[in-house]
Each structure stands twice: as structure tokens, then as C-alpha cells.
């Protein structure tokens, strides 16, 4: 199994929502971009929330749109061994220092977990913080309920941005 590592956080001090994934998949790691797999629904799910066609933008412009909307982005796993991209294959996970990041985000109102693995690993690390916890259906194409069914849960992010 290959040791894989997450990316640095994308965050500005005025963030109101922090979205946490588990660990970037192989396509994302190869491209050094969050949610790079073309079938991952992440950018599509966030588009109506930020009011921009995120999939049509360059990667840097996508990140800028999130920051402008006061959304931060990171992963709960700093390093882990994993064959392939499935969260079920994560072994020997070491968590990112979520409490340290949260301490640098004084306006934070909610932590949104992108999928069950992110929630299971990350929730204990933020449980003592005075923020709402949002358990979102995974944006991964492996979570097959479809984007339309996922969108209402993701839309809850809007309530914490104002």
C-alpha cells in the first residue's frame, strides 16, 4: 500500500464553513487538486451555493470562489496508506490538526463533512467546538444516490454563510 498525503488547507480567516473530505483520491493526488476526478460531484454540488458555475472555471478560480463565499476546504486525514481511491481502503490514518485550523477561523459557524469516512474520522476532532456539524452525502461517484438527491443536504451550507 502506498503512503498518501493530503493537501494544505484552502482557508481564509473569515471562513464561516469548513468542508472536510477524507483523503484526496488518486486522480486528485496526481493533479495536485482537490476533487479532480471528473465524475466527482463536489464542484457541481457547490455551484448553486456560491452562485457560480464552478465546473466551468479554472481550478484556481474555483478555489477563489470558495474563499470569496467564506468556505474553507481541507481533509481530515493527513497521511494514510491506501491502494486506490476508496475510503474503505484507508489504513494507518494520521489526522490533520483540525483543532489548530479551527483556532485560526474565528468566524467559523459550521464544519461540513463530505461523506461518512470524513465524519467518522473528523467529528471527534471538532466535537468540543461551538460549531454546527453537517454530515453531507459524499460527493464521490462511488456514493451512487445521484447529485439531485444529494443537493438538498449540501444546500444546508447556505444557512451558515450569511
3: helix, coil or strand? strand
For the beta sheet containing 132-136, the strands, ordered from the edge strand earlier in sequence to the opposite edge, are 71-75, 17-21, 110-114, 132-136
**Nearest Cα residue to 25 out of 150, 151, 142:** 142
For residue 49, the surrounding DSSP H or E stretch is helix 42-50
* Distance, CA of 74 to chain centre: 5
> DSSP for 95-127?
E--HHHHHHT-TT--EEEEESHHHHHHHHHHHT
- Sign of the alpha-carbon torsion through 45, 75, 4, 120: negative
Which residue in 40, 96, 114, 155 is the catalytic one? 40
155 is a catalytic site residue: no
* Residues recognised as catalytic: 40
Amino acid at each position: 500500500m502506498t503512503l498518501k498525503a493530503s493537501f494544505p488547507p484552502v482557508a481564509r480567516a473569515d471562513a464561516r464553513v469548513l468542508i472536510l473530505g477524507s483523503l484526496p483520491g488518486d486522480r486528485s493526488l496526481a493533479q495536485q487538486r482537490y476533487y479532480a476526478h471528473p465524475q466527482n460531484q463536489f464542484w457541481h454540488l457547490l455551484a448553486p451555493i456560491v452562485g457560480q458555475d464552478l465546473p466551468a472555471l479554472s481550478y484556481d478560480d474555483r478555489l477563489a470562489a470558495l474563499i470569496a463565499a467564506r468556505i474553507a476546504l481541507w481533509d481530515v486525514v493527513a497521511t494514510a496508506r491506501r491502494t486506490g481511491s476508496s475510503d474503505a481502503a484507508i489504513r494507518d490514518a494520521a489526522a490533520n490538526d483540525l483543532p489548530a485550523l479551527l483556532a485560526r477561523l474565528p468566524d467559523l459557524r459550521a464544519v461540513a463533512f463530505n461523506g461518512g469516512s470524513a465524519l467518522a474520522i473528523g467529528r471527534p476532532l471538532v466535537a468540543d467546538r461551538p460549531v454546527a456539524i453537517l454530515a453531507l452525502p459524499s460527493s464521490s461517484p462511488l456514493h451512487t444516490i445521484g447529485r439531485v438527491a444529494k443537493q438538498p443536504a449540501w444546500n444546508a451550507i447556505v444557512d451558515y454563510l450569511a
